[in-house]
Amino acid sequence: MNGERKQARRYHWLSETVRSFVEEPHAAIDGVEQGEIINLTDRRAEASRRTQLDILQSLGPDGIARELRALEGRDEMHGPLTSQPILPHLIMPAHHEVHPNDVLVRRLHGNLAAAADRGPSDFCELLLIPGIGARTVRALAMVAEIVHGAPYRFTDPARFSFAHGGKDRHPFPVPLRVYDQTIQVLKSAVQKAKLGGAEELSALKRLDEQARQLERHASGPPVQELIAQERQRSPTYDGRSVFGWEHGRPSAKIGNVGRR
C-alpha cells in the first residue's frame, strides 16, 4: 500500500495449481520498484497473519491505532516485539552481465577445487555414467550447494550461473551436454534414493562439504578469466544461446535439441 497516494496493489491468481490464495499462490512478484514490499503470503509469515487477525478481533481498529501510537514512542532498547523470523529477500544488481564484484570468488574457487579433488573419487567410480567429465562435476558442485546450502550461502546468486551459463550468453552460452548430464545425474540419484540407495545423494553432499572446506584457502583464476575460458570451450560442450550454436559445433545436431 502507498500511504501518500492512497493506493494499493491488487493481485489476481487463477490457476489449477493454486491451493491457497493466502499462502504462496504465486511464483514471484514482479513490477516497478516502489520501495520495500512486505510479502505476507510467504509461508514463514503464517504466524504474522494469524496474529494480525487475533489483534483485529481483540482490539478493533481504534485499539490498534492506540497501540500503534504507543509503539511509535517505544525506545529501541526494549528490543524486538516478536520472534517472527526475517523473511527472505534478494537484491539483484541493475546490470545483467556478471561482473567480478557480483561473485564471492572464494566460494567459486571452493566449488572448482572440490570438483577437481572430490569429483574423481566420488563420481567417476560411483555413478558409472558414460560421458561424465570434469566439467559436469563442476556444475554438480554448484548444484550440490543449492541442494544442501543455507540461505546465507545465496548472497551472490550470480555465482551459480557458472554451473550452466545463460541462454543470452551471460556469463557464457549454455553448455547443453553438461546441462543434460547434470539432469541425468540428479534423476539417477533421486530415483535410487527412493529405492533405498542414497549413495549418489551422499556423493553430492560430500561434494558440497568439500567445497566449503576448500574455499578457505582455495585459489584460482579471476572471474573474467573463467568466463573467457568457458566461452572459448563452449563449442566443446555443445554451447548454445538465443543467438544460435557456438562456432565450431556441427550443424547436423541442431535438430536434436530444437525442443529446448
What are the structural domain ranges in the chain? Answer: 1-89, 100-248
Predicted pLDDT at 172: 96
| Max mean pLDDT range (20-34, 72-86, 94-108) | 94-108
**For residue 91, pLDDT beyond 90:** no
CA–CA dist 160, 141 (Å, integer)? 10
**Residue 52 pLDDT class (50, 70, 90 cuts):** confident
**Residue 258 pLDDT class (50, 70, 90 cuts):** very low
Helices and strands per DSSP (H, E), number in the chain: 7, 3
CA–CA dist 175, 165 (Å, integer)? 7
Q: β-strand 244-245 against 174-175: which pairing, if any?
A: unpaired
- H or E stretch covering 146: helix 134-148
- Torsion, Cα 230 174 209 203, to 10 degrees, reads -120
**For residue 241, pLDDT beyond 70:** yes
Mean pLDDT of 59-84: 65
Q: Tell which residue, 208, 237, 220, has the closest CA to residue 135.
A: 237
**For residue 58, pLDDT beyond 70:** yes
> Could you tell me the three cell numbers for 218?
582455495
- H or E stretch covering 240: strand 239-241
For residue 222, what are the CA distances in angstroms to 157, 169, 170? 17, 18, 16
Share of the chain above pLDDT 70, in %: 77
**For residue 176, pLDDT beyond 90:** yes
**For residue 10, pLDDT beyond 90:** no
Mean pLDDT rounded to a whole number for the chain: 79
